[in-house]
Structure 1
Amino acid sequence: MTHHDQPLPPAAPSESEALPTSTRVAEALPPLMQDRSFWGMTATQFLGAFNDNLFKQLMLLLATPTAVEIAAAAARGETEPDRQAEAMIVFATAILLFTGIAGWLADKTSKRTLIIGSKVAEIVVMAIGMIGFLMYGSIGFGGMLVVLFLMGMQTAFFGPPKYGILPETIHDRDLPTANGIFLMFTFVAIIFGTVLAGALGSNPATVWRGSAVCILIAVLGTATSLLTRRVPPANPGMQMRWYDWLVPPESIALLRKDRELLMALMVTSSFWLLSSIVSQAVNSLGKSQLGLDDLHTSILTATLGVGIPIGCLIGGRLSAGRINPRVVAVGAMGIVISLGLMSLRGGEKDHLLGFYGSIPVLIIAGISTGVFIVPIQVAVQALPPANEKGRIIALMNQVNWIGIILGAVIFKASVTFCETWNQPRNTAFAVGALVMLPIALFYRPKERSLGD
């Protein structure tokens, strides 16, 4: 995610072949657990994910009406809009627009340089966010959507180098373990960021203080990014073309040849479509259906994240140096069953599980999610040729955010359906289960080793 008139890269290896070693720095690589560069990149990702999810959850809580607001609007013969979909679409659109050019930069320049530059930009965006919350009375929710768009831009330029640098700086055999650790810390950051957002609440008069913390976190993330190992550009002679903002024809040609890689990209997009639906559904369930406050709603959201790092470690361990289709199948079916349970009706609030019953089910859903996504993430990193990795990973980000936008649209449609037909908000979980069901039943990536 090679450009201009260079020949197309060779096709991915056959199923019987071990994946080739990625082009990486010439120095001898230390063991993964003793690799300062890997842990620096992991810390950078942790701090970035913390900031992203703190700010995004603050916006989603602002956008979600409470049960009291919904009841008051109903008494007036009106509806209280749920604006979560608007926030998700703005954030995702920014990433979608700039991920293509970010992928080009990730191959043209050193990924380390792009990572550090992205982290400096994060400091600026977080400072703008603090100013935005201070001026919320003047700019309103619409003004904060502009800040959210800037956050999306920064995320777009950080995505391709942060994932593309892993295959360049560690052994191929370590990719499953490294991705498990990387994703584990990512989702731990999501938990902390989400819970802190709930503790701050959705009162714009006080949440600016949280934005000040975000600035400090961004500064720390910039410092840890300096630990990342220096790597040469993968394709420094590449020239920019207009379609680098979209999908380069070389990447399209590669995907046509490599059906396995194409399917992995489609599944990741479907997965993030599902994640978009579920993250909004949990907020809607908590505030709009169960009548929870911001803190308890965010705890419910964070509970989903508790299981994900556990699942990432399990997924990395079960993969054990290979892409394992059985791991994918088990994870996908666990997601389907968990979401099906979350959609059941009954009880006082028309939700059978309620707040406390939802917690263990969401933990299981999180574990299943981690088990499912690690092997697919590894496949997208390992299958492309070395000089195409940056743009293929950028393309993965693009299709993922297309999925997130579609998920926001589907969630908005499900809310409209629930309001029109007087159905509970947890109906959205059933929609999510239906999205994952075909993947659980039919998708099986080819099993292959990841030896150096």
Structure 2
Amino acid sequence: MSAPHPNQFALLGQRRFAPFFWTQAAGAANDNLFKFAFTVMVTYQLGVSWLPPSLAGLVIGALFILPFLLFSATAGQITDKLEKTRIIRFVKNLEIAIMLLAALGFMAGHAALLLACVFLMGLHSTLFGPVKFAYLPQVLSERELTGGNGMVEMGTFVAILLGNVAGGLLVAMPGVGHGAVALACLGLALAGRLAAQFIPGAPATDPGLVVNWNPVSETWRNLQLAHGNIVVFRSLLGISWMWFFGAVFLSQFPSFAKDVLRGDEQVASALLVVFSLGIGTGALLCEVLSRRHIEIGLVPLGAIGMSVFAGDLYFASRGLPPSGVMALGAFLTQPAYWRVMLDLFLLSLFTGLYSVPMYALIQMRSQATHRARIIAANNILNALFMIVSAVLAGLLLQAGFTVPQIFLFTAIANAVVAAYIFLLVPEYLLRFVAWVLSRCVYRFRVRGDEHIPTAGAAILACNHVSFVDAVLLMAASPRPIYFLMDHRIFRVPVLGWLFRLAKAIPVAPQKDDPATYQAAFERAAQVLKAGDLLAIFPEGGITRDGQLQEFKGGIMKIIERAQADGVQAPVVPMALTNLWGSFFSRIEQGGAMVRPFRRGMFTRVGLNVGAPLAAAEVRPEPLRARVAGLLALG
């Protein structure tokens, strides 16, 4: 990996990212320029009897998405088996060949040939899809992955927007429109291939893989492979739901603009512009809001915003002033329509916040040897969800529902689906609580977080100051943490439920409850054996005077048990600072959580993380001295 960069935009100056970014952006722009120009041509210019204008968009969209269902599984295998840059260049060569055929189709006005090219461009995108998301984790560090995905998401939606706008403008040029579209498509294909030439090598992750060319059996196998990691699989479902949600709005923009907003084609295009800018803005905000880690706590925030503003879009669409068909200029002079545009921008912004961390999580948590096949499974599910979205929207319209009512149903369904996903995968909810606490209740600063291992077993040893110490540690770590905690904290309302949801391990003194004591160390050993992070508060309880207490011997028992299992887990010393006297800590004159604002809002607190210690070097007193030294840093 290269040296850390100041922000996600700096990646555009680095060879490991910039050529790939421009390659994928050129491909996304070309897909949409070609499809939209062809749709406009069939709808307004060709008059093909066997392809009525009312069905043109549907047929073109279905043909484009069909290869995702048929060939995604094969594409995932090929990506895992072969060097990724080689695949990217092959796909870009294929795009040039397809665009040469498409140029003939545009010049001759040959709809059948162009439909064949739609299918082939769908195949091109199907082959590129697994490479697109499997390449990034190989060249970006964990701290760069959210920003990199945000840049790719932003670039994709801006390219889609520009492609659609360019396709509509070029094909409408009198006399030369078809030729202009042909040249633009071919030019974008060549530009993408040129950029691909500069992408550095990305080695194969499973070169010994034997490709199964049966798409049906391999599709089923890919879905089973993804299901092997339940957090990843349910995240795939979450992303597919996002595509369902987005497809409802994108497919209804023309009808919404015409029948509800009383706007012309320019207004429909403006809705697409606002939606694309919102997605791009949300995607770029992810790195800032996540402190450059994979922060899946943003996913519930995104889901909440999606439902709130999709629902408000329904209410904003009611009672609009009556008018004739308006051009964009007249539309923008009406204050009532600004609320509609703001709702649309914000629901798409929160969609960006929702999707980017999920993609980053899948990339980081998927095993490298079959990461591309899991991305392929995601593409299959995305395609299925978008098809279901189109069918359901069509059925609701036929049943007499209005477009705003469909938006309202989608908002309600999104809230229900999101709640279901977050209860199935409580890690999202827990990280959301940690994110809110560390940014909205406290101003939380982490120093030395590069010492928290991004892979493998480790023991995190921290001082214990408040009832929310565990939540703050969750906010600091890019990975899930299993906590060994005093059994009495589980009796605290709300927090006890939260820690049980986090699968925290209750521990009691051996003399008081031998069974709980023994079970705690047994479970701790399982956590480390599985290669996960285990956090322990060696003081054995929350401090009553704000001072660092004596470290108990429990940590030595955990280390010895891990070594007996053949696990050499390093110990990472940590110190929470400035929490004493806050709402969730005790104070010398009273208990915790009795005066809500005794230190005001947004109190600055911190976590200092020290360099890991080899397990063999750890003893309670020297470890306590390390933590004390971190505390002294303030």
Aligned partner of 2:189 in structure 1 is 218
Choose from 243, 248, 253 the match for 1:277: 248
- Does structure 2 conserve the Cα–Cα contact (< 8 Å) formed by 1:47 and 1:217? yes
Residues 135 and 111 of structure 1: CA distance in aligned 2, closer, same or farther (over 3 Å): same
- The secondary structure found in structure 2 opposite 1:228 is coil
Q: What amino acid maps onto 1:402 in structure 2?
A: L
- Does structure 2 conserve the Cα–Cα contact (< 8 Å) formed by 1:308 and 1:366? yes
How far apart are the structure 2 equivalents of 1:350 and 1:406? 34
Choose from 169, 185, 191 the match for 1:199: 169
What aligned pairs does 1:347-358 form with structure 2 within 5 A after superposition?
A: 347=320, 348=322, 356-358=338-340
Larger Rg: 2
Runs (5+) with no aligned partner, structure 1: 1-27, 66-78
Measure how far apart 1:268 and its partner are.
1.1
Residues 372 and 204 of structure 1: CA distance in aligned 2, closer, same or farther (over 3 Å): farther
What aligned pairs does 1:59-138 form with structure 2 within 5 A after superposition?
A: 59=38, 61=40, 81=54, 83-136=56-109
- 1:355-395: CA deviations, max 9, x gaps? 65432222112211111111111111111111011111111
Measure how far apart 1:172 and its partner are.
2.2
Aligned partner of 1:362 in structure 2 is 344
Residues 252 and 304 of structure 1: CA distance in aligned 2, closer, same or farther (over 3 Å): closer
Aligned partner of 2:441 in structure 1 is none
Q: Which has the higher helix share?
A: 1
How far apart are the structure 1 equivalents of 2:267 and 2:181? 18
Measure how far apart 1:151 and its partner are.
1.1
Choose from 212, 237, 240 the match for 1:241: 212
Q: What amino acid maps onto 1:258 in structure 2?
A: N
Q: State yes or no: 1:394 paired with 2:376.
A: yes
Aligned partner of 2:155 in structure 1 is 185
Measure how far apart 1:223 and its partner are.
0.8
Aligned partner of 2:449 in structure 1 is none
Aligned partner of 2:359 in structure 1 is 377
> Which segment drifts farther, 189-198 or 34-43?
189-198
Choose from 290, 300, 303 the match for 1:329: 300
Give TM-score, length-normalised by structure 2.
0.58
> Which segment drifts farther, 345-354 or 148-157?
345-354
Measure how far apart 1:210 and its partner are.
2.4
Aligned partner of 2:141 in structure 1 is 171
Measure how far apart 1:63 and its partner are.
7.4
- The secondary structure found in structure 2 opposite 1:37 is coil
- The secondary structure found in structure 1 opposite 2:356 is helix
How far apart are the structure 2 equivalents of 1:405 and 1:386? 30
- Does structure 2 conserve the Cα–Cα contact (< 8 Å) formed by 1:127 and 1:212? no
Aligned partner of 1:57 in structure 2 is 36
Measure how far apart 1:135 and its partner are.
3.1
Q: Which has the higher strand share?
A: 2
How far apart are the structure 1 equivalents of 2:190 and 2:148? 24
- 1:260-282: CA deviations, max 9, x gaps? 11110111111112222211111
- Does structure 2 conserve the Cα–Cα contact (< 8 Å) formed by 1:195 and 1:299? no
Q: State yes or no: 1:37 paired with 2:10.
A: no
Aligned partner of 1:259 in structure 2 is 230
Q: What amino acid maps onto 1:300 in structure 2?
A: L
Over the aligned positions, Cα root-mean-square deviation in angstroms equals: 3.0
Aligned partner of 1:441 in structure 2 is 419
Q: State yes or no: 1:153 paired with 2:123.
A: yes
Q: What amino acid maps onto 1:345 in structure 2?
A: R
Runs (5+) with no aligned partner, structure 2: 6-10, 45-51, 326-333, 432-473, 480-634
Residues 372 and 341 of structure 1: CA distance in aligned 2, closer, same or farther (over 3 Å): same
> Which segment drifts farther, 181-190 or 430-439?
430-439
How far apart are the structure 2 equivalents of 1:358 and 1:425? 13
> Between Structure 1 and Structure 2, how many residues are aligned?
404
Aligned partner of 1:72 in structure 2 is none
